Amino acid sequence: MRLSRYFLPIIKETPSEAAIASHRLMLRAGMIRQAQAGIYSWLPMGFKVLRRLENIVHEEQIRAGHHPMLMPTLQSADLWRESGRYEAYGEEMLRITDRHGRDMLYGPTNEELITDIFKNAVGSYKDLPMTLYHIQWKFRDEVRPRFGVMRGREFFMKDGYNFDIDEDAARHAYNRHMVSYIRTYERMGLKAIPMRADSGPIGGDNTHEFLVLADTGESEVFYDSNILDLHLGDREVDYDNWDGVKAICDEWTTPYARTDETHDAAIWADVPADRQQVSRAIEVGQIFYFGTKYSDALGALVDDGKGARKAVHMGSHGIGVSRLIGAIIEAFHDDKGIIWPEAVTPFHAGIVNLKQGDTDTDATCDQLYQGLIKAGLDPLYDDRDERAGGKFATMDLIGLPWRITVGPRGLKNGVVELTSRKTGESEEMSPQAAIARITEIYAQV
């Protein structure tokens, strides 16, 4: 993309309403604009990042054998009356009445709807196990939205639901989700720690939250520093292997890691003092096993093959996709701007032309731009007629991991400059070498 033709409304000054780094930077970098309290428009670059995260989530869910689908944002109140949650959910649920006076609601989650779909189509144990998910906008009418997309009222979330014949199978589904989530966050460059959590209003007795360490996090967490050393990497995972999946979960759940809600001082005391870490963290996902709560209420029964009809065992599993962008920025930024991990960056590299209109720099930038595109990458070429300082400041702010600087000084020797946003280190090389290097870097992401 040529910056001169893009829509990237950058703000030089700090917007007064933004209290934390991610909110401030998303506004300044032209990623979002607020529409109402807790409701945002996603401008082209923010939308790009959102799509990238969404794609990673899809890939990992599909890899785990889960089926993508899409349910509507608006749901019927009647279904929620059946489960008893229409009254129980309270003020956070946005209730709407249509022209015929029918009660509807903007879905805060989808247990009722998915269970209804499931029970009308599935009647036998032979169809199990099954896990369905979608990534859709949700609405929860928070009393006090804040922190930009971290605590919006409207938010983009992956929510998945497993249907299994009994508790053992459902526990495997739970474990499978834990592993797929670990992998998902790791791919995004994040260290998200699964922690024992409270079950909250959704119900159930087995749940973990995934938390990303960040000073601005809303939760206080206690963990054994050993857990930071765990990596899934490119380990082969057979998601149908119950024991193998459970072994990975055991690995991640053995070191102590809890939120303040479930913190247990007695167990904590057994963690060696030099490994005891207390920190703030942002919740970016949660998995639940809740048994037959909804299948009982909504009559989701299957034939068990022995002549009986049994309520299916279920769980629900969520990833806050829009919130993740905030969490990633909280984890990766400095005083100049965002520092995107390669896996989620909106553009793979930025090209800075220091002397727009100069025959040589223009030609070299075009060569780099075309070369990167041919290599299957997505560069952002700052071809505006701006001074060097402004272009550098823009690149630093929007935080692309790699910057190629093209100026007359270097071109005299046939070189351009490749700079890492993370380390700030630069290296001179030929344009061809720069393309090759960046291609190689992204081949490993």
Partner RNA sequence: CGGGGCGUAGCGCAGCCUGGUAGCGCAUCUGUUUUGGGAACAGAGGGUCGUAGGUUCGAAUCCUAUCGCCCCGACCA
Contact set with RNA (CB under 7 A): 10-13, 15-19, 34, 36-38, 92, 140, 142-147, 149-153, 155, 157, 200-202, 209, 218, 283-286, 318, 320, 322-323, 336, 354-355, 386-390, 392-394, 396-397, 405-411, 417, 419, 426
Q: What are phi and psi of 54, to 5 degrees?
A: -60, -45
Q: Which is nearer to RNA, 169 or 282 (CB)?
A: 282
Q: Kindly state the smallest distance separating residue 387's Cβ from RNA, in Å.
A: 4
Terminal C-alpha separation, the chain: 21
- The SS3 call for residue 40 is strand
Q: Kindly state the smallest distance separating residue 175's Cβ from RNA, in Å.
A: 20
Q: Are the C-beta atoms of residues 116 and 297 closer than 8 Å to each other?
A: no
Q: Kindly state the smallest distance separating residue 410's Cβ from RNA, in Å.
A: 4
- Angle (nearest 5°) at CA 172 between 169 and 178: 150
Q: Are the C-beta atoms of residues 45 and 30 closer than 8 Å to each other?
A: yes
- The SS3 call for residue 132 is strand
Q: Kindly state the smallest distance separating residue 218's Cβ from RNA, in Å.
A: 5
Is beta strand 154-164 parallel, antiparallel or unpaired with respect to 192-196? unpaired
Q: Kindly state the smallest distance separating residue 126's Cβ from RNA, in Å.
A: 33
Q: Are the C-beta atoms of residues 439 and 377 closer than 8 Å to each other?
A: yes
Q: Which is nearer to RNA, 246 or 353 (CB)?
A: 353
Q: Kindly state the smallest distance separating residue 19's Cβ from RNA, in Å.
A: 4
Burial of 204 from C-beta contacts in 10 A (0-12 / 13-18 / 19+): middle
Q: Kindly state the smallest distance separating residue 299's Cβ from RNA, in Å.
A: 26
Q: Look at the alpha carbons of 393, 395, 398, 400 in this order and tell me if their dihedral is positive or negative.
A: negative
Q: Kindly state the smallest distance separating residue 306's Cβ from RNA, in Å.
A: 37
Q: Which is nearer to RNA, 372 or 397 (CB)?
A: 397
**Inter-CA distances, 279 with 40, 213, 223, 258, 371, Å:** 29, 7, 8, 11, 44
Q: Which is nearer to RNA, 145 or 431 (CB)?
A: 145
Q: Which is nearer to RNA, 99 or 412 (CB)?
A: 412
Q: Which is nearer to RNA, 59 or 358 (CB)?
A: 358
Q: Are the C-beta atoms of residues 298 and 115 closer than 8 Å to each other?
A: yes
Residue carrying structure tokens 């701007």: 337
Q: Kindly state the smallest distance separating residue 374's Cβ from RNA, in Å.
A: 24
Q: Kindly state the smallest distance separating residue 380's Cβ from RNA, in Å.
A: 14
For the record, the structure tokens of 49 come out as 């990042």
DSSP letter string, 146-210: BTGGGB-SEEEEEEEEEEESSHHHHHHHHHHHHHHHHHHHHHTT--EEEEE---GGG--SEEEEE
Which residue spans within 257-340 are E strands per DSSP? Answer: 257-259, 276-291, 301-303, 309-311, 313-320, 333-334, 337-338
Q: Kindly state the smallest distance separating residue 341's Cβ from RNA, in Å.
A: 20
Q: Which is nearer to RNA, 93 or 128 (CB)?
A: 93
Residue carrying structure tokens 């520093």: 225
Distance CA 116, CA 124 (A): 15
Distance CA 271, CA 255 (A): 9
Q: Which is nearer to RNA, 119 or 208 (CB)?
A: 208
Q: Which is nearer to RNA, 238 or 335 (CB)?
A: 335
Q: Which is nearer to RNA, 170 or 406 (CB)?
A: 406
Q: Which is nearer to RNA, 131 or 364 (CB)?
A: 364
